[in-house]
Amino acid sequence: MRIIKLDAIDSTNTFLKEISSADVIEDFTVVVAKTQTNGKGQMGNVWSAASGENLTFSVFKDVSFLNFEKNFYLSLITALALRQTLQQFNVPKLTVKWPNDILSADKKLAGILIENVIKNNKLVSSVIGIGLNVNQTVFKNLPRASSMKLLVGTHFNLDEVLETFLKQLKIYFEKLKNEETDALMQAYNDNLFRKNKPSTFKSIEGSTFSGFIQGISNNGNLLVLLEDNIIKEFTLNEITLMY
């Protein structure tokens, strides 16, 4: 496994995509940056982290074995690998907020951004971007954010946390290659934030409504039980969970 460590970069995802498009690179090549000047989040958001206190990195993965219609499993197994990693470091009350934020109780610890390379309607490779709050203790204007250090009371070695996650990611990729999709889906649904609890959602039009999260569909959409006792399926672009 090749690990490239950088002091500063605009985005580890962008950097890894550029070098992978220019040359053949080793599977599980990792790019880690102390500082990201333009870190990416879901839906065009920005991921902000204090320099040298957290993990901001991207992993290159050959995913040509996976059918395109199952691409959500990349997000699913990355979230499960992150959750398992944090559990090993005794972070409490871990859940996955759909689609792939990692929470401790209702505090956000980590986010994931996966960017796929597709050719002829087939998956070729993925760049898996991770932002994980490790040792940062001050989050200005981010009341929902927290870190491993704040939650456990321990200062963590960044390399050790990264190594643990990469081991878990490899384990979960093997499960996916072995087509253990039912077990992976069950594990994801078992750890889903606010599952079977009354929740408020905001639609893309700006209106709010209530419902109960039931789980996710086979293509990664959120299944919500609405007031009229109908289960409706929503894509990431259609709703936001308010919490």
Say how far apart CA 154 and CA 131 lie, in whole Å.
Answer: 19
CATH architecture of 198-242: Roll (2.30)
pLDDT tens sequence across 89-99: 999 999 999 99
- The token duo for 174 is 């093997």
Every domain of the chain and the residues it spans:
3-190, 198-242
pLDDT band at 47 (very low <50, low <70, confident <90, very high): low
Q: pLDDT over 70 for what percent of the chain?
A: 95
Torsion over CA of 242, 240, 77 and 190, rounded to 10 degrees?
Answer: 50
The reported pLDDT for the residue numbered 39 is 54
The reported pLDDT for the residue numbered 91 is 98
The domain defined by 3-190 carries CATH number 3.30.930.10: yes
**pLDDT above 90 (res 152):** yes
**pLDDT above 80 (res 40):** no
The reported pLDDT for the residue numbered 43 is 47
pTM of the model: 0.93
Three-point CA angle 173, 13, 166, nearest 5°: 35
Angle between helix 158-177 and helix 72-88 axes, rounded to 10 deg: 140
Burial class (CB in 10 A: 0-12, 13-18, 19+), 153: exposed
Tell me the Cα Rg of the chain. Answer: 18
- The token duo for 32 is 């880690």
Helix (H, G, I), strand (E, B) or coil at 199: strand
Q: What is the DSSP letter of 143?
A: T
Residue pointed to by tokens 């969970």: 241
Say how far apart CA 226 and CA 215 lie, in whole Å.
Answer: 13
C-alpha distances in angstroms, 101 versus 141, 146, 150, 190? 18, 12, 18, 15
Give strand pairing partners of 107.
104
Say how far apart CA 169 and CA 80 lie, in whole Å.
Answer: 8
Average pLDDT for the chain: 93
Listing DSSP states for 31-73 in one string gives EEEEEESS-B-GGG-B----TTTSEEEEEEEE-TTS-GGGTHH
